[in-house]
Chains A and B, each alone.
Chain A
Amino acid sequence: MTEYNADKIGEIHRHLHSELPSEPALRVKALESVLVEKELFTSADIDKWVDAYTEKVGPINGGKVVARAWVDAAFKARLLADGTKAFDELGFKSRVDSDLKTVENTASVQNLVVCTLCSCYPLHLLGMSPTWYKSNEYRARAVRDPRGVLREFGVEIDDDVEVRVWDSTSERRFLVLPQRPPGTETWPEDKLARLVTRNAMIGTQRDLTPESL
């Protein structure tokens, strides 16, 4: 009988009113409706953003930049000299007034990007940042113990390879240009672009694997 009553009460409750959102969800609803009224943006702007960054924008834009740099030495030179202009060439205009610097991995250098202050990240090139990039642990340890962090990602860096850590800010963000893996000499640019992973462009992956495609 108790069970019946519990079910009954639950049913009545469900019929009485809609399920109340969580506290942060309520505040987000409040903020959005107030800011839309104040014309700071439209609801459609927010829906479009969520749709784009949860479904569409991934690391492929960054991958296209890397692939172009691999096949076009002149582009690569421009990219390393002034990233922002080179990105414009491919149509990836910086969304905010911040500088985007490309740092190149070589046989003797591994670059690693972090934002120790918060979570600055080139969203338009890499899509949403991974959860670990935003964690305190990564932000604190990437600078202090980059080799240890890389080891956690399964990347062993030889002692003779220098690890350079780049701290992003609101004014300057970074993109790692990974090394082109052997065995991809005949690949077309669009296939190369798909080979480049998000983690490789943050620096927590060193070797790209042609077998993965």
Chain B
Amino acid sequence: MKLPDEPLGPLKRKDGDPTFDEPWQAQALAMADTLVVTGKISAAAWAETLGAELRKAADTGAPDDTETYYRAVLAALERLLNQSGAAEKSEIDARRDQWERAYLNTPHGQPVQLSAGEKA
């Protein structure tokens, strides 16, 4: 049996970590899981693509942490949607830029609307 003052191993130390560090991580997983559950993405394709993104992250020396995991989730989601044509990368890129403009155009404290990012 383990003594209470015995140092915990690295895995056990992570045991109490919050599952999400930031809201976008939960939202990314929510989108992916919803698309799998509703059959828009097959469970097999999801596992394979996420696995490939995780491998890529590990191979490029990304830290083995929550941020890396959810960045892989987001990358896998974008890749599958681009491949199937459901949402092409160019469309997401353009929308990302529009959100960025919307944030920059919206005074602090006011709700940010996508329309605020439309090109003049």
Contact = CB atoms under 8 A, between A and B. Distances in A.
Nearest to A27: B96
B43 to A, nearest CB: 4
Interface string A70-96: 000000000000000000000000011
B78 A31 contact: yes
B98 to A, nearest CB: 8
A18 interface: yes
B22 A25 contact: yes
Interface string B36-75: 1110101110111011001000100000111001110010
A68 interface: no
Interface stretch (A39-47, A103-111, A174-182, A184-192): A39-47
Contacts of A123: 33
A84 B12 CA distance: 30
Contacts of B31: 28, 31-32, 35, 41, 46
B41 to A, nearest CB: 10
Interface in B61-111: 64-66, 69-71, 74, 77-78, 81, 86-87, 91-93, 95-96, 98-100, 103-110
A13 to B, nearest CB: 9
Given A38-B86, A156-B1, A170-B46, A25 B12 contact: no
A32 to B, nearest CB: 6
Contacts of B77: 31
Contact of A17 (B19, B43, B105): B105
A19 interface: yes
B92 A50 contact: no
A130 B14 contact: yes
Given A27-B78, A46-B31, A118-B51, A170 B26 contact: no
B14 A135 contact: yes
B26 A53 contact: yes
Contacts of A46: 27, 30-31, 34
B96 A17 contact: no
A152 to B, nearest CB: 3
Interface of B: 1-2, 6, 8-12, 14-15, 17-20, 22-31, 33-38, 40, 42-44, 46-48, 50-51, 54, 58, 64-66, 69-71, 74, 77-78, 81, 86-87, 91-93, 95-96, 98-100, 103-110, 112, 114
